[in-house]
Each structure stands twice: as C-alpha cells, then as structure tokens.
Structure 1
Amino acid sequence: MEIDVVLPCLNEAAALPWVLGRMPDGFRPIVVDNGSTDESAKIAAGLGAMVVCEPRRGFGAACHAGLVAAVSDVVCFMDADASLDPGQLPRVSGPVVSGTADLVLGRRVLRPGASWPVHARLGNAVLARRLRRRTGASLHDLGPMRACGRVALLRLGLVDRRFGYPLEMVLRAGAADWRIRETKVDYLPREGRSKVTGTVRGTLRAISDMRRVMARREGAA
C-alpha cells in the first residue's frame, strides 16, 4: 500500500534533502511550494518528489492543495523543516492502515537541540486540553505529523486556509465521531526559523487563526 505524504513548504531548501532522503519505501512525498523564494521546488523535483505550486499563501492552503493532489487511500501530513523524521511515518499511519483509528496525530517528544519555546508549548497544552473536552480523545499535542483517510478528510469540508487548518481537522473529526489517537514521535532540531513560533508575529497570527476556528466550531455546536 502506497501512502502520499503532504509537505507544506516555504523556503525549506536546506531541509528538503534530509527530509526526502529519509522518506520510507511506500511513502510518496508531495511537496507543496507555497511561494518559496529559494530553490525549494527545484530541489524537491530533483529528488523525485511531486511538486505542487500553491500561490495562495497560508499553511492550510498548502495542506489542502496537497490533499487534492493526493491519490492514496491514506494520506499523511508533516512539516518539511526537518523537525520531524519521515522514518517515523509508519508508526503514525499504521493504525489508520490497519483500520483501528481514523486519525492519528504524532505527539512530539522534545529531543536535544530541538527548539520548542515555552510559550508555544503552553499554548499547545491549552489547545490539547480543550480538544480533549470537545472530542473525548486522549490528546496531548496538536501534532503536525498526522495520518487519516484521504476521502474521509475531503468529506469533512475543512474551510480554514491558514494556521487554523490542523485544529479544524481535529475538531471536525471529533464531531464526526472519528476514532482519534496519538503516538509518540521525535521532535528534532529544525533547519532555519519556525514560521509560527520563530517570530512574535507568526505566533500571534497562529493564535488568532486557531481562536477563530475554535469560536466558529463552538458557535456551530
């Protein structure tokens, strides 16, 4: 069984050789270039990845473009900045492939040298606590490495195209009574600075996007 892996990408030329070189057999990378000004797209294509260009800026826009391009029954998502090891994708996708879970999130375990600021970890913990209450799933991390069924995800009809996309995915999956699980994955030193937690502007933008998604879902409940 082959599995497509969606990798939203914005200026990750330095990280892509390691990330794509670690992709396990049977996992097909789809690098979604979201307006990079470096040679990310060229490098990804040269290393054998499918490259999708998504001109509309936004993390969710890139994820959705990759999802639309995917063809496998099960699809994975992960960051392209080398903070996550593609070699661990089977432990995230395995329960979906076996039919024991509908959505699996990788719970990040901080490794030496990894950058995960305290404010970002606290914010993540608060979100995870709210998700536990809303979905009933035992979640501790809004993990960026995840796996689920492709067609089922399309049917959820996610609308956020910014940083609220991962949160909306879990909220809508919970509302649809999906079996949501998490499994531990390593969180490694990334290449370059995070687009979210690496700047105050990025952090505030992500918080704003996620608050908007949460408010919209609570209003619909």
Structure 2
Amino acid sequence: MDVILPCLNEEAALPWVLGRMPDGYHPIVVDNASSDRTAEIARDLGAEVVSEPRRGFGAACHAGLLAARADLVCFMDADASLDPRQLPAVSSAVAHGEADLVLGARRPVASGAWPWHARLGNRLLARRLRRRTGADLHDLGPMRAARREALVELGLTDRRFGYPLEMVLRAAAAGWRVAEVEVDYLPRSGRSKVTGTVRGTMRAISDMRRVMAEHSRTPVMGQEPPGSPRPPGP
C-alpha cells in the first residue's frame, strides 16, 4: 500500500511521521519545491522521494498518485498533525471492498490543534458537501484511501487546494461509496501553510468554492464505481 505525503518544508516533522508508518505502508514523499532538507531527510529515512517543482497542494498529491504503483493508495499530510498508525483504520473499508473512498474525519485531541477559522470554514464546506453528494461527511479530511487506478480514471484537474474537494465531488458523481472514520488531529509541527493563518484558510476556501462552482455546472456522469460489475454484452 502506497502512502502519498505532499511536502513543503517538512524536515522537522518527517522523522516522526515516517517513524510511525505501519508495516506494509510504503511512503512516497512528494517534495513540492522545499527550501529545506525535506527530500534529503526523507531519503535518509527510507522513503521514496518524488520531485514536483510546480507549487500547489493538488500538484504534489497528483504527482504522488502518478508515481504510486500499489493497488490501494492513501494520502495524508506530513506535518505530524495526523498519526500514520491510524492509516489501517482509514484504508480497511476500501481494502475489504466495503467503500470506494474513505476520509479520516479529524477530531482534535489537544488544544490548538484546529484554529477556529479553519474549523468554521471546514464545517460550512462539509455541510454543502453533504447536501450536494448525499455522503454523510463531516470533514474534508486530508487522510484518505482509495484504489489507485480508479482515482487516476477520475481525471482530477485541480492542482491547488481544491484537489481534495474535487476528488470527493467526482467520486460521488461517479457513484462511489464515500465514507469517513474518525482520526485524531494533533497540533502540527511548525506553522501551517493553510490553517495557520486566516489568509491561508481563505485562500483554500476560495479554491474550493471555485471547484464547487465548476462541478455544479459540469457534473461528472457516466462513470461506474471502481470494481463494480459491468452489464453483460449482447
């Protein structure tokens, strides 16, 4: 199982994150033009490193997806806000054919783990997502699991902060079974590029609003859930 870790200057957090990777989970660190020793440290700790010079959360995630080789892939942030030891809980339903896309719904376990402005924006987005897709989601969590080939076939195009939302919208439109499980949310290592500031949060919300608007105009249709049986031919 491959674990895609988009990284921008995460040298401080990587030893903890990679040191807690469960057996059988192969980390792919996508270095998104870091100015620190992210790539060097990741290699020293045994991770596969992919370089994505084009800045953007979605660009890094998609580069990792295209580099992955395992049938099942996971995504998670590499800032130590999420515990890799909870990856099996997130990936289990996909591995057993009970769901097609599973998101980790973040539950703060320490003070300061989730700033109020980020939590409010996420709550509003999740409410719109429930109305739009019918999926019982309460968080657009960055820890998630799905089958690699099916994700590639979704044809995700956003390369900024709208990438996680586009994944859910396209999956739901394609008839995927989308679910969530609770995961711990910890205070990250260092300052977040997104939720650490109101400006960063608003930039992410703006990207997601754009993706939501684009998909309301051009819904994805005609795709089957991954692994679903095809009707017999004539």
> 1:201, CA displacement in angstroms?
2.9
**2:6·2:29 contact (CA, 8 Å) conserved in 1?**
yes
* Off by >4 Å, runs of 4+ in structure 1: none
The count of aligned residue pairs is 219
Question: What corresponds to 1:82 in structure 2?
Answer: 80
Moved more, 24-33 or 204-213: 204-213
Say whether residues 1:53 and 2:35 are aligned partners: no
Partner of 1:109: 107
Instruction: Please provide the CA RMSD for this pair.
Output: 0.8
Using the size of structure 2 for normalisation, the TM-score is: 0.92
Partners of 1:40 and 1:113 lie apart in 2 by 27
Return the offset for 1:114.
Answer: 4.1
Counterpart code for 1:81: D
Q: CA deviation at 1:204?
A: 2.1
Instruction: Measure the CA separation in 1 of the matches of 2:175 and 2:106.
Output: 24
Equivalence for 2:224? none
Alignment correspondent of 1:10: 8
**Does 1:209 find its partner at 2:183?**
no
2:39 aligned counterpart, secondary structure: helix
SS in structure 2 at match of 1:63: helix
Rg (Cα) greater in structure: 2
Contact 1:196 1:202 in 2 (8 A): yes
Q: Which residue of 2 aligns with 1:142?
A: 140
Q: Deviations over 1:158-188 (max 9, x none)?
A: 0000000000000000000100000000001
**Given the two structures, how large is their TM-score scaled by the length of structure 1?**
0.97
Tell me the distance in 2 between the aligned counterparts of 1:69 and 1:88.
Answer: 23
Matched with 2:185 is 187
Q: Which residue of structure 2 aligns with residue 97 of structure 1?
A: 95
C-alpha contact (below 8 Å) 1:73/1:151 kept by paired residues: yes
Gaps of 5+ in 1: none
Whole-angstrom distance in 2 between the partners of 1:189 and 1:6: 20
CA distance in 2, matches of 1:88, 1:148: 15
Match of 1:132 among 127, 130, 133: 130
Do the aligned partners of 1:134 and 1:174 also contact (CA within 8 Å) in 2? no
| Larger CA deviation: 118-127 vs 24-33 | 118-127
Contact 2:114 2:187 in 1 (8 A): no
Matched letter for residue 190 of structure 1: R
**2:187 and 2:109 mapped to 1: Cα distance?**
8
Q: Which residue of 2 aligns with 1:23?
A: 21
Q: Residues 30-88 of structure 1: CA distance to partner in whole angstroms, max 9, x if unpaired? A: 00000111101000000000000000000000000000000011100000000000000
CA distance in 1 between counterparts of 2:68 and 2:112 reads 30
Q: Which amino acid aligns with 2:212?
A: M
- Match among 162, 170, 183 for residue 164 of structure 1: 162
Q: Deviations over 1:91-115 (max 9, x none)?
A: 0000000000000000001011442
3-state DSSP class of the match of 1:141?
coil
SS at 1:93's partner residue?
helix
Structure 1 SS opposite 2:102? strand
Unpaired stretches in structure 2, ≥5 consecutive residues? 220-234
Q: In structure 1, what is the Cα distance between the partners aligned to 2:150 and 2:112?
A: 33
Which residue number in structure 1 is paired with residue 217 of structure 2?
219
